[in-house]
Amino acid sequence: MSLRSTARSKASRTRRSNGWKRSRFNVPGTGRLRADRLRTLAADVICLSLAGNDHNVLGLFEHSAPFTLGDLPDDGLDRVRIPDCVMRSQLEHRMRPVVERTRPVHRIVADRQIVHICPPPPDPDAAHMEADPKLFGDIVHRGVAPDPLRLRLYRLQCAIARRLAGKSGATFLPPPGQGCNDAGFLARDCRNDDPTHANARYGRLVTDQLADLEWHMQ
């Protein structure tokens, strides 16, 4: 089994009127491919990188009504305290459309190894994110949310993704250890120039993980 035969796909949009068969997946070297044509790929391993930004949408920058989660310590602000189970349900609701679109993929390529790649952890550098907020420019004035809150949101999402991968019979690939700092945030040398993505170094660490994973799957 060769890493070269690994096709990495990322879910895109679905036209409601045509159902899941109209779902498009970005496949490097192949372009945009309909879900029902994934079986034509000469690949032993299908890697899905899905729904990675929901934790950022909910809590990268402060909400208009600042909140905190579960048993996180107070930070002196008047925050709404939301139980972890409630936020978990909200994340599951946000992730459900992508999950539903990928269910047929698991059936179509049931003879291949499927890997769900965990999104990169949040960036701990507030100044870096505020300097170039990209799509979050209209709310950057609220300030970056507290580190413990952002990390809790990320870990809740990862736990959901891990469970969904298991239910689908897929392998869940956690973030690479070298791509994280001691606290579990994105390592400084792995951050990109925007608030939510990792860089090419992080990508190489993930491909190293995949190579090692393939070795054990042979």
Could you give the CA distance from residue 174 to residue 176 in angstroms, rounded to a whole number? 6
Closest CA to 190 of 121, 116, 126: 121
Considering only CA atoms, which of 129, 113, 109 is closest in space to residue 172? 113
Separation of alpha carbons 53 and 48, rounded Å: 14
Q: Give residue 119's pLDDT.
A: 95
In this prediction, the residues of the chain whose per-residue pLDDT falls under 70 are: 1-36, 214-218
**Integer Cα distance of 145 and 106 in angstroms:** 36
pTM above 0.95, yes or no: no
Residue 119 DSSP symbol: P
Contacts of 187 (CB under 8 A, 6+ apart): 178, 179, 180, 181, 202
Cα–Cα distance measured from residue 187 to residue 123, given in angstroms and rounded to the nearest whole number: 8
Please give the pLDDT value at position 172.
94
Report pLDDT for 100. 81
Report domain 3-217's class: alpha beta
Each domain of the chain, given as residue ranges in start order, spans: 3-217
For residue 135, the model assigns a pLDDT of: 74
User: pLDDT tens across 117-133, in order?
Assistant: 999 999 999 888 888 77
